[in-house]
Chain A
Amino acid sequence: MRREYFKAMANLELEQRLVEKAKRNPQDFNQLYELYFEKIYNFLLARCGQKELAEDITSQTFLNALEKIHNFKWRNVSFGAWLYRIAINNLNSHFRKNNRIILTEDENLNLLISQQTSADSAESDLEQRGRITELYQTIKKLSADEQNLIILKYFQHKSYQEIAKILKLSSNTVGVKLHRSLRKLKIVYHQKIK
């Protein structure tokens, strides 16, 4: 536990140095990009379920970050949390503008999951594939905040503190909300299976 804490602190210090460097010379932003590209892209992919849209929002997020990095002030909140917030805002504004397109995302998601499961031969039984697809469809029926909580916790493996900083909530609130979201997911999921 203590080792993890120190590791996190070291990461924070490193991140702070990288941010300062990028502020001085924007060409050093590349290091931050390398550090966070995968996480942001996967988060957005899981959140929207469309590869193209995830790419668009990711590129928009990093461009915004590059433009506004001079405004970023280090307040013991990681740069990653700031990036996640930008990504979530961009995605929300996109959904607000184009809410009709969301309907088509299921197909894409099924395609994505099927690509992954077929590649992994050990897990390629139909039952599990169907269950996972159902689970993902259930997640998509939750609210945006609940989706964010579940994706950040179970897909991105973030701690309560990290989630709290990304979503601007307290750690307790995150715990409570996550518990409620999971229960809701279970209920909907059971209903769907039955």
Chain B
Amino acid sequence: MDFLNEKNTEDLIVKDLQQLGQQLQQTNQAFKLALAHKLRAKVLSQFVNPVKKLCSLRWAWLTAPAALLLLVILAEAAEYSGLEIKPYQYLKTTVAPAVNRQIKITATAIIEEVKKIADNALKAKLNPATTQNKSAIQNKTVPNDLLELTSVNPLILFQPLTEQQQQILKEEIKSQLGKNEQMAPNLQPSLPAQQQDDYQYSLDFQPTEPLVLENDVADTFLNEADKLPESLPSADQEPVVKKLIDSPPTTDALVPPLTAPIKISYQPSENIKLEDVPPTTKAGEAAGTPSTIMTPPTPPSQPYSNINIPPAGQKSAGSITELGVAAPAEQANGQEKTECQNRFRLILKINDLSKIDDQFNNRIDGLDIEITEYYSSSQNLTIILTLPSSQYYELKKSLASLTARPDYFEEEIIYNEAKCQETVVTIYVNKRISFFEWLISNFR
């Protein structure tokens, strides 16, 4: 009975609680609306556009430039009184000019672009036909002949030949020479006298290295010319060979100085080197006709009479020759006498020799180059070796093409007498290991 009573009272309480809950469920619409309005206002005030917020910070816009100006004045005053503020100096000397420069560059670029656009717009307005032409060019409506003519780039002729091309060229010249030998007595010079003089040279001139460059290039030009006769000048015009010789040398092999008039003569003998054959054909000549023009040999009594070697171009002490730049004036001294060899003292400047010293010491004995002295200090390694010019320039050229090439060379002529030079070449090496690998592999 108690249990039943208890159960009843519990049920009654729960029932009463639920009823109480129902009675307390009220709707307060006025308050709900008021609160909604308040929340909306809060949202609008809280989430302002950040740009607006930034702009509204007037005190910051006013005080920041003022503070900056004050700081600059203080720093300048301190500097004037002798106090060094390094960050300020850095900003003043480095950052500010750099920023200025960048701004100028950008501004000029923008101005140019704007000008271009304006000009184009103006042109398009004034002459609408040009735009049509433009589109026609884009659609490749240009005549094919014109395209061929414009596409002939004379610079391509100065590119160095590959070995295969050189071989073919040599054989061609050989065959031409064979023919010419038979026909020599009947041949008459076809060039004007002045030009003949210009291209004569004595056979006594014997370069230490095979001559490959300009003469061969000239012959290549001739071969090219046979293929494209329309694009090249006629025989009456300035000879193409002269053009080539007047142009600066593109490779570093031994070449006689081109600025000086060198007499060229042809002496048929079995000792003739193919590389020494002068370019004698004219551009306009048809293929198949004998193209080599020969002059009577120079009397042996005056072997060097016509050779004018210009004074060696001396570089100023400590001048820096960057890699990849054409050979310096010393190249003119490539025509060395056998009794005189230019001497190059190589000093390799590197930071840390500890790693390569042993390696280099082990291997340096095996080098073919004549090393007169070899010593190293903590900061540099000096290898004094006697290199002929050709070998030196070959070394330099190879170094230029090397991926681990040194930063730069310093060439200083310390001795120059009777066409013999002694040059100190300081090579600054960064990637030392690969550099030495290269050096060892090339001079072994």
**A interface residues (Cβ-Cβ under 8 A, vs B):** 26-27, 29-30, 33, 37-38, 41-42, 45-46, 51, 55, 58-59, 62-63, 66-67, 112-113, 116-117, 123, 128, 131-132, 135-136, 150-151, 154-157, 182, 185-186, 189-190
Q: Which of B16, B28, B40 contacts A132 (CB 8 A)?
A: B16
**Bound Cα distance from A41 to B40, whole angstroms:** 19
**B interface residues (Cβ-Cβ under 8 A, vs A):** 9-10, 13-14, 16-21, 23-28, 31-32, 35-36, 38-40, 42-43, 46-47
**Bound Cα distance from A190 to B9, whole angstroms:** 9
Q: Is the CB–CB distance between A154 and B35 below 8 Å?
A: no
**Bound Cα distance from A128 to B19, whole angstroms:** 10
> What's the dominant secondary structure at chain B's contact region?
helix
Max count, chain B CB within 10 A of own CB: residue among A37, A128, A156: A37
The 3 closest A-B pairs by CB, nearest first: A155-B21, A116-B23, A154-B17
Q: Is the CB–CB distance between A182 and B13 below 8 Å?
A: yes
Contacts of B14 in A (CB 8 A): 154, 182
Q: Is the CB–CB distance between A135 and B16 below 8 Å?
A: yes
Q: Is the CB–CB distance between B24 and A63 below 8 Å?
A: no
Q: Is the CB–CB distance between B35 and A117 below 8 Å?
A: no
Shortest distance in angstroms between B237's beta carbon and chain A's nearest beta carbon? 79
Contacts of B43 in A (CB 8 A): 26-27, 29, 66
Q: Which of B10, B13, B31, B39 contacts A33 (CB 8 A)?
A: B39
Instruction: Kindly report which residue of chain B lies nearest to residue A114, judged by CB atoms.
Output: B23
Q: What's the A-B contact tally at a CB cutoff of 8 Å?
A: 91
Q: Is the CB–CB distance between B35 and A37 below 8 Å?
A: yes
Shortest distance in angstroms between B86's beta carbon and chain A's nearest beta carbon? 44
Instruction: Kindly report which residue of chain A lies nearest to residue B20, judged by CB atoms.
Output: A132
Q: Is the CB–CB distance between B13 and A135 below 8 Å?
A: yes
Contacts of A29 in B (CB 8 A): 39, 43
Shortest distance in angstroms between A111's beta carbon and chain B's nearest beta carbon? 12
Shortest distance in angstroms between B43's beta carbon and chain A's nearest beta carbon? 5
**Bound Cα distance from A190 to B13, whole angstroms:** 10
Max count, chain A CB within 10 A of own CB: residue among B13, B19, B23, B46: B23
A-B contact sample (6 more), CB < 8 A, given A113-B24, A135-B20: A30-B40, A46-B21, A59-B38, A66-B43, A132-B19, A154-B21
Q: Is the CB–CB distance between B32 and A37 below 8 Å?
A: yes
* 28 A–B contacts from the bound complex (CB under 8 Å): A27-B40, A27-B43, A30-B40, A33-B39, A38-B27, A41-B31, A45-B26, A46-B21, A51-B28, A55-B35, A58-B31, A58-B35, A62-B35, A62-B39, A63-B42, A67-B46, A112-B24, A113-B23, A116-B26, A132-B19, A132-B20, A150-B17, A151-B21, A154-B14, A154-B18, A155-B25, A182-B13, A189-B13
**Bound Cα distance from A190 to B35, whole angstroms:** 41
Q: Is the CB–CB distance between B13 and A185 below 8 Å?
A: yes
**Bound Cα distance from A95 to B21, whole angstroms:** 22
